[in-house]
Structure 1
């Protein structure tokens, strides 16, 4: 739902540009737009990193890796004899 935060940032920026308000309010709206833009971007990046992190997770646990190593060692020893 990072797109909602980015949409809110866009709304703050549009209000700062279009509404006839004082300088202080414009600065607050621009600051809010910047903060929401940073928050939305970091949330979007975090969501994508989590999605790719699951795809790149280990397919074999440590016990399985150890068992495969032992099987390879046994084959090497058998082929050397």
Structure 2
């Protein structure tokens, strides 16, 4: 039971963290478009990359505790 709670907590925090980084990246992209500032595009891309990486790492850690990975990240048996 303890393993399940740790796994589900990690998986939930992965989705929350990804959502926060997605919102921050969207704000940076919107500010770059509104102000015409190209440096904010790099910041938005960095935030998007950081969000995807933290999402993947936290989901991987959750999978070590028995939580299934989403279909997007599962390996296909061919």
Pairwise same-fold verdict (TM > 0.5):
no
TM-score (norm 1): 0.44
Bigger relative contact order, structure 1 or 2 (CA pairs below 8 A, ≥6 apart): 2
Q: Greater helix share, 1 or 2?
A: 1
Specify the structure having the higher radius of gyration (Cα).
1
TM-score (norm 2): 0.45
